[in-house]
Amino acid sequence: MKSITTEKNGTATFKIFRKDPSRDSEGRYDEFEVPVEEGMSVLDGVNYIVEHIDPTLSVRWNCKAARCGSCAAEINGYPKLMCKTHISDLPSQIKLDPMGAFPLVKDLVADVSSNFDIDRRIPGFSPRKTSEKPWVMYDIDVARSQEFRKCIECFLCQDVCHVVRDHSSKYIGPRHVVKAAALDMHPMDTADRSVLLTKEKGLGLCNVTKCCQEVCPEHIAITDNAIIPEKERAADKLYDPVLSLLDKFLNRTGKQGEK
């Protein structure tokens, strides 16, 4: 892949999806030539277009530092954060689309609000009653759920998942399994979400393709550390009577490092 600064006198061609659903029935692609400087991100290029060429182009961003997740889009067909993707790592033609798994607001802005509704329906943290103060947690328990708390809610994993795209009403999606796993693996938590995910939220539809963990900008091992353990946890609870009894006993006694 060539650096674009060595081509076409340091310009890149941005081909950007345009549609305002309140006015247009069809979408189109508009092309823009953008002068490129060293270190420019795709988001810098889009902001150049908004500032210098077409102020009607809609884009959402906040931090420019890969922290807020709001600039998520499909760059040359691949779900990425625009602020974290350097133009120099791309070919000189850059095609931008909004995340296709979600309804379109306008141009590059997708409506991800359904995720916040799903999030509210996942049972919250339910600590066991204890007089122990402060709570003592083993390092391994902290590390296990800490990984999932790095999520910046960009929803790129939801966007790339073919099951979410095909069965969004049936499968809750990888981001939300990460949230459930973070709670389920907390040693003070007494609730279980894995059975709910399996029986009502379509976890069984996930066929562990791992596309979600490939696109995660926080490098969360979504499939390996959240989805597969939640599937296994549900299988134990639903089909293994001995483990089910043991789990109830551990929850009652509050034994840590076992959850």
Residues that bind ligand SF4 (CB under 6 A): 69, 151-157, 175, 178, 215-218, 220, 222
d(CA 184, CA 237): 13
Task: From the list ligand SF4, ligand FES, ligand F3S, none, pick the one residue 227 interacts with, judged by a Cβ distance below 5 to 8 Å according to partner type.
Answer: ligand F3S
Q: Give the residue with the Cβ less far from ligand SF4, 16 or 101.
A: 101
Are the beta carbons of 99 and 159 closer than 8 angstroms? Answer: yes
CB-count burial class (<10 Å; 0-12, 13-18, 19+) for 249: exposed
From the list 44, 36, 45, 41, the residue with the least C-alpha distance to 15 is 45
Tell me how far, at minimum, the Cβ of 255 lies from ligand F3S, in Å.
31
Instruction: For residue 136, count other CB atoms closer than 10 A to its CB.
Output: 10
12 vs 154 by CB, closer to ligand SF4: 154
Answer with the entry of ligand F3S, ligand SF4, ligand FES, none that 178 interacts with (C-beta below 5 to 8 A by kind): ligand SF4
| Residue 246: CB minimum distance to ligand SF4, A | 30
Select the binding partner of residue 92 from ligand FES, ligand SF4, ligand F3S, none (C-beta < 5 to 8 A, by kind): none
Tell me the two tokens of residue 181.
């796993």
CA dihedral 193, 166, 149, 259 (to 10 degrees): 30
Select the binding partner of residue 208 from ligand F3S, ligand FES, ligand SF4, none (C-beta < 5 to 8 A, by kind): ligand F3S
